[in-house]
Structure 1
Amino acid sequence: MESFAMLANDPVTQARIDLTTALRAAARHGLNEGVCNHFSMTVPDREDLFLVNPQGLHWSEITPSDLVMADGAGNVIEGKHPVEPTAFFIHARLHDGNPRAKVVLHTHMPYATALTSIRDGRIEMCTQNAFRYWNRIAYDEAYAGVALSNEEGDRMCRALGDKDILFLRNHGVIVCGPTVAQTYDDLYYLERTALVQVLAMQTGRPLHTIDDRLAEHTAGQIAGEAQQAFLHFESLKRMLDRDEPGWRRLAA
C-alpha cells in the first residue's frame, strides 16, 4: 500500500485534503448550516471536473475520500455519495463561466448573511478587516428562490463578474479564489468583518468609514501579505491533526 506521504503528493489527493480542511475548519468557525451549503474546487489538470462535498454529511465528519468528483452536467465521476442539486446549479456554472473561480465557497454564515437581509446591506469600509475587500465584492439584489436551474447559476456568475465575492440578497455569500487556502482565508475574514460591523451598527451610532483612496491603499498592503493565508491554512491542518485523528482518511 502506498504511504500517506506518497499519496498526499498527488495533486488530486492534495486537493481533497485541502477542501476537507476548509469544510472542517468552517464547521469549527461556525460558518456552516446543518448539512447544507457547498464548497468546491476544480480538479487539478481537469478544468471540466470539480470536487464538492456530498449531500447529507455534516462538514465536521467529511474526509477526503467522501468528496465527490463531478462534471458540469451533474454526473458523479468518482465518489460513493450523491450531490445536493443546488451544488451543481451554482458551483458547476461558476466554475464553467468564470475561469478565475478555481475554488467556490458558498455559505449562509450568520453575520454576512445578516447583511444580505437588510435593505442596502453592504460591507462598509469601517474596519481594517473590511479594507481587504475594497472593490472585490459584487452585490446580487435579485433573489429568485432556491437555485435549481442552470439559468440561476448563470445569473449568479454574471452578477459576480470580475469580483471575488458575491453577496446574494436574502440568501448568503459566495467567495471565489485561486486556491483553497486563499479563498478560505477570505471567507473567514469576511465573516469576522461582518460580525464587527453588525456589532457596531447595533450601537445606533454612525459607522466611521474611510475614503476610497485610503481603502485602496490599505487593501494593497494587505494583499502584499498574502502568505498569511497559507500560514493560517496550515495552522488549521495542524489543529485538525491534533484534535480530530483520522480526518485525513483517504479510503472508506
Structure 2
Amino acid sequence: MAPSATILEGQSDNNKKYGGLGKSSDGRTFSVRSYPKFETPEEERKYRKEHLAAAFRVFADHGFVEGITGHISVRDPLLPDHFWLNPISVHFAHLKTSDLVLVNPKGEVVIGERPIQPAAFAIHAELLKARPDINSAAHAHSIYGKTYSAFGCKLEMITQDSLRFYKQHTVYKNFGGIVFNRDEGIRIAQALGDNKAVILQNHGILTVGKTPDEAAWWFLALENLCQVQLLADAAAAGSGKEKIIIDDETAVYTNGQNGTSEKGWLAFQTYYDDVLIRSKGDFLL
C-alpha cells in the first residue's frame, strides 16, 4: 500500500521553507509534502480521522500507553464544535478509524458505540473551545514527560531540538487530581494560552496543533526533550559542569526553521507511512 498521498505539485514556496533544496543536478524540481486540499468537508473528515487513528498507533509504538489513560482529539470539519476522540476501551495499538467517537459540546457521543473518558472530554472540549486556531490536542502519561512534570518548570533551551518550543510552551502548576471537572479543563486551557504545549505539573505533558499529525509530533518531540533535560540535569549535577543556554537571537531564528506548524505536520508523515506499511492499512478500517 502506498504512503499517504499528500505530495502536491508546484510547491515552490514550500520548498523554500525547507531550505530551498528542491532541485536535482539536471534541473528537475521536487515537491515537498504539504497538507492536502479537499473538495468537501466530508473528505477532510475522513483524512482527519485516518491520521488521528495513525497517531494512536504511533503512540502505542512509543510506549505511550498506560491502562486507559491518554487521549488525542481532532475537531470535526463538518461540525466544528464537535470533535473525534478515542473511546475508553480500545488499546492504542489496535485502534481503527471505526473505533473513534464523535462528541458534542455536552459530552454526548453522537457517532460511536463506546463511552469516552470524562477527563478526556473535560480537557479537550475546553482546549478546542478556547483555541479556534487549533484542531487537535494530544495527552498521554509518558515516562519522561511525567517525570519532568514533577519539577513544575519549563524546558531550558539547551539543544537545537528544544528550540522547537522556544517561548511556545508553559507550565500548569495547579494539579488537582484527575480532571473530571470542566473548570479544570478551562484552567488548563488558560495555562496553555497561545502556546503549542503545556507541562502539567505532577501529571504529564500536553500538546496541540492544527492537525492530529502536528499535535502528535510535538508530543513525541516534547517527550524526547524531557528525557534530554533530565539527562542534562543529572549530568550537570554529577560533573559540576554548567549547561550552555542558547541565546535568544539564535533561538528565534531556529524556531522559525523547526518550530512551525508546517514542520510539525511534515515531521509526522514518516511515522504515518511507517504505520501504514507495517499495519497494511488496517487502522483505516
Length-normalised TM-score, structure 2:
0.79
Q: What are the residue-to-residue correspondences of 1:155-170 with 2, within 5 Å?
A: 155-170=187-202
1:84-119 deviation per Cα after TM superposition (whole angstroms, max 9, x unaligned): 11111111111112212310111221112211102x
Paired residues of 1:115 and 1:122 also in contact (CA < 8 A)? no
CA distance in 2, matches of 1:21, 1:63: 8
What displacement does 1:167 show?
Answer: 0.9
CA distance in 2, matches of 1:172, 1:223: 21
Q: Name the structure 2 match of 1:128.
A: 160
Identity of aligned residues (%): 30
CA distance in 2, matches of 1:219, 1:11: 29
Q: What are the residue-to-residue correspondences of 1:50-199 with 2, within 5 Å?
A: 50-118=83-151, 120-199=152-231
Q: Name the structure 2 match of 1:243.
A: 278
CA distance in 2, matches of 1:125, 1:53: 33
1:200-224 deviation per Cα after TM superposition (whole angstroms, max 9, x unaligned): 1121243221222221121112246
Q: Name the structure 2 match of 1:213.
A: 249
CA distance in 1, matches of 2:216, 2:207: 8
Aligned alpha-carbon RMSD (Å): 1.9
Q: Which moved further from structure 2: 173-182 or 201-210?
A: 201-210
Q: Name the structure 1 match of 2:57.
A: 24
Length-normalised TM-score, structure 1:
0.89
CA distance in 2, matches of 1:182, 1:193: 16
Q: Which amino acid letter does the alignment assign opposite residue 184 of structure 2? A: E
User: How many pairs align?
Assistant: 241
Matched residue of 1:132: which SS? Answer: helix
What displacement does 1:231 show?
Answer: 4.0
Q: Which amino acid letter does the alignment assign opposite residue 179 of structure 1? A: T
1:190-244 deviation per Cα after TM superposition (whole angstroms, max 9, x unaligned): 11111112111121243221222221121112246x6554443332222223322
Q: Which moved further from structure 2: 97-106 or 147-156?
A: 97-106
CA distance in 2, matches of 1:212, 1:108: 31
Q: 1:231 to 1:200 in 2, by over 3 A?
A: same
Structure index of larger Rg: 2
What displacement does 1:248 show?
Answer: 2.8
The 4+ residue runs of structure 1 with deviation greater than 6 A are none
